[in-house]
Amino acid sequence: MFDAEKFIEEAKAQITNQVKEGRTIIGLSGGVDSSVAAVLGHSVLSDRLVAVFVDHGFMRKGEEEEIIKVFQERLGMNLRVVKAQERFFEALKGTEDPEKKRKIVGKVFIEVFEEEAKRVDAKYLMQGTIAPDWIESSGGIKSHHNVAGLPSGMVLELVEPLRDLYKDEVRIVARALGLPENISERMPFPGPGLAVRIIGEVTPERVKIVKEANAIVEEEIKKAGLMPWQAFAVLFRDKSVGVKGDIRDYGHTIAIRAVESVDAMTAVAMDIPWGVLKTIQRRITGEIAGVTRVLYDVTDKPPATIEFE
Ligand code: XMP
């Protein structure tokens, strides 16, 4: 049986032993792993831990406000919010290929993060790495790394207090640390965020549509008491035909995806009650201008992936 209190004490002792002097930086996304690592780090290092939230513009609705409320206002963490939306949009302009989009988001993210690491003269990089991140699916273990170099040549020592935990254990620790439910039970969300939930080019207008649709999906799923591994909205590239009054009109198509899983390696499309799906559809087409069609993805993983691209 996993003992969260014991883990918390041991993790704190490990951080105390490893981090001797200077500042530690952590990228805080609001996801449960980075949140738990940051709270553990903060409890030992106090203001010597600098949490950086890079707002790339592809976060879910209200996410930035939630993060500021929990980590800065409630927990008193040394949090820096970097608003970098325009940089990301500019870098992504005209890019449609999913892997290129991922690479661009990753590259700009590192640039922004590196600027912050330099600004605060960080010596250590704390990360919410958990066991499945470094254990290969075959059971083999990837070579251990304990220094993280940033592109500028700046070398930071890695601090990874959650290395031996699995997701369910991280959630237990999050609850034991008193983190609010919207963090401890938060659904996994890809690093590039909504940028990979928009098929094709990412524009501010398309982000707005998928953000609203996603918020409706999450709200209605929660209201219905459902607990999927992930549930979200995706915006299709092509428009499909719809009707506006008595004329045919081309509108956006939104797909809803909700899956059950234990580790994201495989997943099953969730059996969502028809009434919940219809409420989501009515709200999306009623509240978001220009959306005329809503689909539900019934495909398991495999053969599909969880995300659409
Ligand atoms: P797939 O789509 O491969 O997703 O079945 C498996 C899990 O990984 C998440 N995912 C990502 N996470 N960066 C991330 O940090 C990414 O580029 C990315 N792509 C997929 C996905 O949400 C699911 O939990």
Closest CA to 197 of 231, 233, 230, 228: 233
State if residue 299 touches ligand 1 by the CB under 6 angstroms criterion.
no
Q: Looking up tokens 């580790």, which residue turns up?
A: 263
Q: Chain-centre distance of CA 305, in angstroms?
A: 17
> What pLDDT score was predicted for residue 138?
45
Which residues contact residue 99 at a Cβ distance below 8 angstroms, ignoring those fewer than 6 apart? none
- Cβ neighbours of residue 110 closer than 8 Å, sequence gap 6 or more: 150, 151
CB neighbours (10 Å) of residue 172? 18
* Whether the CB of 305 sits within 6 Å of ligand 1: yes
- Residue 307 Cα to ligand 1 middle (Å): 6
pLDDT per position as a tens digit, 43-85: 999 999 999 999 999 999 999 999 999 999 999 999 999 999 9
Q: For residues 79 and 72, what is the distance between their CA atoms, to the nearest angstrom?
A: 6
For the chain, percent of residues with pLDDT exceeding 90: 86
What pairs with residue 122 in β-bridges?
Answer: 23
Q: 273: how many CB neighbours lie within 10 A of its CB?
A: 10
pLDDT tens-digit series, residues 166-218: 999 999 999 999 999 999 999 999 999 999 999 999 999 999 999 999 999 99
What tokens were used for 90?
């500019």
Please name every residue paired with 230 in a beta bridge, in sequence order, or none if there are none: 259
Neighbouring residues of 15: CB distance < 8 A, sequence distance ≥ 6: 40, 41, 44, 45, 159, 161
Of all protein residues, whose CA lies closest to atom 20 belonging to ligand 1?
190
Q: Is the peptide bond preceding residue 302 cis, with omega within 30 degrees of 0?
A: yes
**Cα(54)–Cα(58) distance, rounded to whole angstroms?**
10
Is the bond into 180 cis (omega within 30 degrees of 0)? Answer: no
Q: Which atom of ligand 1 is nearest to the CA of 229?
A: 24
On whether the CB atoms of residues 131 and 160 are closer than 8 A, the answer is no
The DSSP line for 231-262 is EEEEE-SS-EEEEETTEEEEEEEEEEEEEE-S
* pLDDT tens per residue across span 84-94: 999 999 999 99
Ligand 1 pocket, residue 31 CB under 6 Å: no
- In whole angstroms, what is the distance from residue 149 CA to residue 30 CA? 24
Q: What is the pLDDT of residues 237-292, one digit of tens each?
A: 988 888 878 888 889 999 999 999 988 899 999 999 999 999 999 999 999 999 99
- Per-residue pLDDT tens digits for 215-232: 999 999 999 999 999 999
Residue 112 burial (10 A CB sphere; 0-12, 13-18, 19+): buried
If you average pLDDT over residues 8-19, what whole number do you get? 98
- Residue 203 beta carbon below 6 angstroms from any ligand 1 atom: no
- Which atom belonging to ligand 1 lies closest to the Cα atom of 267? 5
Q: What is the pLDDT of residues 114-173, one digit of tens each?
A: 999 999 999 999 999 999 888 754 454 455 556 777 888 889 999 999 999 999 999 999
Q: What is the pLDDT of residue 146?
A: 66
* Ligand 1 site, residue 190, Cβ cutoff 6 A: yes
What's the mean per-residue pLDDT of the chain?
Answer: 94
pLDDT band for position 26 (50/70/90)? very high
> Which of 54, 257, 307 is the pocket-test mutation for ligand 1 (most atoms within 8 Å of CB)?
307
Ligand 1 center from residue 258 Cα (angstroms):
14
Please answer whether residues 212 and 42 qualify as being in contact, where contact means their C-beta atoms are separated by less than 8 angstroms: no
With a 6 A CB cut-off, is 264 part of the ligand 1 pocket?
A: yes
